[in-house]
Amino acid sequence: MSDRLSVFKTYKLYVGGKFPRSESGRVYEVTDSKGKWLANAPQASRKDARDAVVAARKAFGGWSGATAYNRGQILYRIAEMLEGRKDQFVREVADAEGLSKSKAAAVVDAAIDRWVWYAGWTDKIAQVVGGANPVAGPYFNLSSPEPTGVVTVLAPQESSFLGLISVVAPVIATGNTVIVIASENSPLPALSLGEVLATSDLPGGVVNVLSGKTAEIAAPLAAHQDVNAIDLAGADEVLAKDLEIAAADNLKRVLRPQPVDYTETPGTERLTAFLETKTVWHPTGSLGVGGSSY
């Protein structure tokens, strides 16, 4: 019989490419579907939320300016790294969602495939939603999509891994940076995802992962003047209404919660949800005359 002590994993936040503990020092107990203790997760504070916004804004210029092809390569690299750590995520998803190992393995496989799916869209979405527009007059105009900016995402509460990937991947695929509030009751897969992202060529700050009390973290982010949009996927009806009111202060784009089957192949709705369209006008036959845009 071995007398070796068990080495318990210390879960941390993922902010700016680093792994800080909560600024407040608080943690909360995470249990499985049967109430068995799994780990202590960091309970992020308002200060942690503000730090995540700073990190996301700092990373936005480089990430949005990267080529779509490069972003696709990095998203595919995330899938590669997840494939190599599949066993760990199968255990965490099984514990978090009360699934058998075989069903948890199917969820993890679907999550990996979801990264690959969105990786393939990075250099195609501009052709789908942009293009030349017919106009009457001696000029032409071209419309092209641009990322909205810093996006806060409330991860789904029940689908702690596949749902998480399904709401995060499309946001960064289109050049935005993101602050993710993990599932309050099942945050461990999201916190472990931070470890994968840190070794996947993804620049620090593009994705920031916070865990804790969803309402407590989401409130300052919804009202933050440097957050451009918020996805309320993981909010209940009451919280969603409160956050939408707070977000109106600086006219954030809000994606309201709606019933979603995350096992279904996604469409382009979440890819386009956080894109803005820029249209450039130019006179025809006047190479030396500048155009205008809006």
Q: Whole-model pTM?
A: 0.90
pLDDT above 70: residue 82? yes
- Residue 257, Ramachandran bin (φ over 0: left; ψ between -120 and 50: alpha; else beta): beta
108-140 pLDDT tens trace: 999 999 999 999 999 999 888 876 667 767 776
Ranges 4-13, 74-83, 86-95: which has the least confidence? 4-13
Place 250 in a pLDDT band, splitting at 50, 70 and 90. confident
266-277 pLDDT tens trace: 989 999 999 998
234-243 pLDDT tens trace: 999 999 999 9
Which residues, including other chains, have CB under 8 Å from residue 283's CB and lie 6 or more apart?
138, 139, 289, 291
Place 88 in a pLDDT band, splitting at 50, 70 and 90. very high
DSSP character for 130?
Answer: -
Return the domain boundaries, the chain: 39-293
Would you state the pLDDT for residue 289?
46
Would you state the pLDDT for residue 234?
95
DSSP character for 248?
Answer: G
In the block, residue with structure tokens 């250099």: 123
Domain covering 39-293, topology:
Aldehyde Dehydrogenase; Chain A, domain 1 (3.40.605)
Average pLDDT for 51-76: 97
